[in-house]
Amino acid sequence: MVLTVQGTATAAQSTEQPALSAADKNVKLRNTLPGTERAISIAFAEYGRKDVAFVSGEFGLKTFDVTDVEHPKFLDHLTKQEMALPGDDPSQRFWENEDVNVDPKRKLVFLAREVNSFGRKLPGDRPTGNYLVSAADPANLELLGFHRQNTGHTTTCINDCQYLWTAGLDRSDAKTGRIFVTDIRDPRNPKELPVSVDVRGTPGQGKITHDVQVDALGIAWVAGDDGTRGYWTDGWHKDPLTGKVRWATAADPVPYAGGAVPKIDMPTSFTHNSFRPVGRTLADGPKPSAANPPGSLLLHTEEAFGSSTCKDQGRFVISSLKGTEHGEGWGTKPAEMKTVGVWSPDDQEGTIPGDVTCSAHYFDVQKRIVAYSWYEQGTRFLDISNPAKPIQIAYWRPEAAISWAPYWHKNNVFIADLQRGVEIVSLTKGAYDAQDSGTNVQLVSTPGKAKPGKPARQRLPLAPDPDFGWACPMLAGREGDCSPGACC
């Protein structure tokens, strides 16, 4: 990723880095899930009255009964050895499955595999694609198979998990940014369809799609180079590019809205993931208004590392979809959406100044509160009732944190932390009081102090992914398998 390799690469130049102090406010730690260090993403499914968390990470896939968060129970582990393909080194990491998806009806789990899984390096073969896993019994995971295709960064359920949309760098000869579509109606025999969805850039240009989020009305939002665009994948809709009404499918979707973001707000033009509050999730997003009516806002991330405090890059952006419903966001020069609000940890309480890995990453939203991961700047909680002025009402930056992705689940937040594993937290009354009063937590000039009596954790050294650059950092200098500053 040429757009995002610039920035604070010095954070990964040494495997001996000083510990970062801890700071938190208006957040309570409820529990942790054991054995989840190097966690990447989390999903949930209900089994009657049982709540199950699926934790994907460098270790493979683990399941936990989290019905009672005070007493979580480990259920099963789909190991790297079970996932290894011929030629893999099972002692090396599984990478990356950045956004695990679960079919809540058929109880299937989908894991995307990247080129550098299991120590694969050029000039050898480096398979990408999707693992399909049965979780009919979450205590007895069954690997149904691996479907190889020419990308494998994230994979997302479309149309009630009858299809997968897989995003990432196109490794075919075409080398265009696009979505790969796979028919998984028979999960033991997945079939890739000969179509390209949401094509970005020209052949050989190397642009990418990064991730897909489906909103409450079923519109699939594709983030990546040149912004975020939404598609109908079912039903009759007017195609704004042709003016004709036609039937939308997962393999032939109908454009809806979206586009690029002004460079002053998103200099890299690279969006990482998104959320559109609409329908049953409307109350989770900003309060609708005459200026921003229901369904008109899109929340999305710029992942970029040009500033250690995210002052200039790597910020959270709220955009208006108004004016993009007629195909303006498509074509060689996508039109820009109007920016409604921008937020970053820069100059905020709980932020560490100096050489710290910082970028907006994954987020989740509940009751107008965004839980947001900012790597070494921790997990931030923002009230977005007023989309033009998001305010920080709480933060959680434990010692040596690398916050990758937070997930609201029944009033708790499960945080996938690459260093610390999965931590379960909840907001205290102070956070909700701050939300009710519209009060930003007070700025302080120095970071919080580490709690006494505990040995300091060492920072994990991060380095640019050799294929995606800083768009997807990896752990460097691990177990002596590669030199400091390189990825293994």
Can you list the alpha helix ranges (DSSP code H) found in 262-397?
none
Residue with tokens 């009596």: 453
Q: Is 125 helix (H, G, I), strand (E, B) or coil?
A: coil
The Cα 393–Cα 367 span in angstroms is 13
Residue 414's identity, in one-letter code, is F
Q: Sketch the domain layout of the chain as residue ranges.
A: 23-442+457-475
Distance of CA 362 to the CA centre of its chain: 4
Are the CB atoms for 404 and 40 separated by under 8 Å?
yes
For residue 298, the tally of other CB atoms under 10 A from its CB is 31
The Cα 232–Cα 226 span in angstroms is 19
- For the record, the structure tokens of 115 come out as 């080129």
For domain 23-442+457-475, the CATH class is: mainly beta
Per-residue model confidence as pLDDT tens for the chain (488 residues): 333 333 333 333 334 455 677 999 999 999 999 999 999 999 999 999 999 999 999 999 999 999 999 999 999 999 999 999 999 999 999 999 999 999 999 999 999 999 999 999 989 999 999 999 999 999 999 999 999 999 999 999 999 999 999 999 999 988 889 999 999 999 999 999 999 999 998 888 889 999 999 999 999 999 999 999 999 999 999 999 999 999 999 999 999 999 999 999 999 999 999 999 999 999 999 999 999 999 999 999 999 998 999 999 999 999 999 999 999 999 888 999 999 999 999 999 999 888 899 999 999 999 999 999 999 999 999 999 999 999 999 999 999 999 999 999 999 999 999 999 999 999 999 999 999 999 999 765 444 443 444 556 788 888 888 777 777 888 885 443 433 333 43
Phi, psi for residue 436 in degrees, rounded to 5: -65, -35
Phi, psi for residue 154 in degrees, rounded to 5: -135, 155
- For the record, the structure tokens of 124 come out as 């050898």
- Residues with Cβ within 8 Å of residue 5, at least 6 apart in sequence: 464, 469, 470
Strand 363-366 versus strand 338-343 pairing type: unpaired
Q: Where are the beta strands (DSSP E) in 149-268?
A: 154-158, 163-169, 177-183, 191-192, 197-200, 208-214, 220-224, 227-232, 235-238, 245-248, 254-259
Q: Is 411 helix (H, G, I), strand (E, B) or coil?
A: coil
The Cα 486–Cα 476 span in angstroms is 5
Contacts 24+ apart (CB under 8 A), 81-90: 82/143, 83/111, 83/131, 83/143, 83/146, 84/118, 85/118, 85/127, 85/146, 87/120, 87/124, 87/125, 88/117, 88/118, 88/119, 88/120, 89/118, 89/119, 90/118
Residue with tokens 């691990």: 478
> What is the DSSP secondary-structure string of 249-293?
-SSS-EEEEEEB--TTT-TT-BEEEEE---GGGGGGSPPP-SSS-
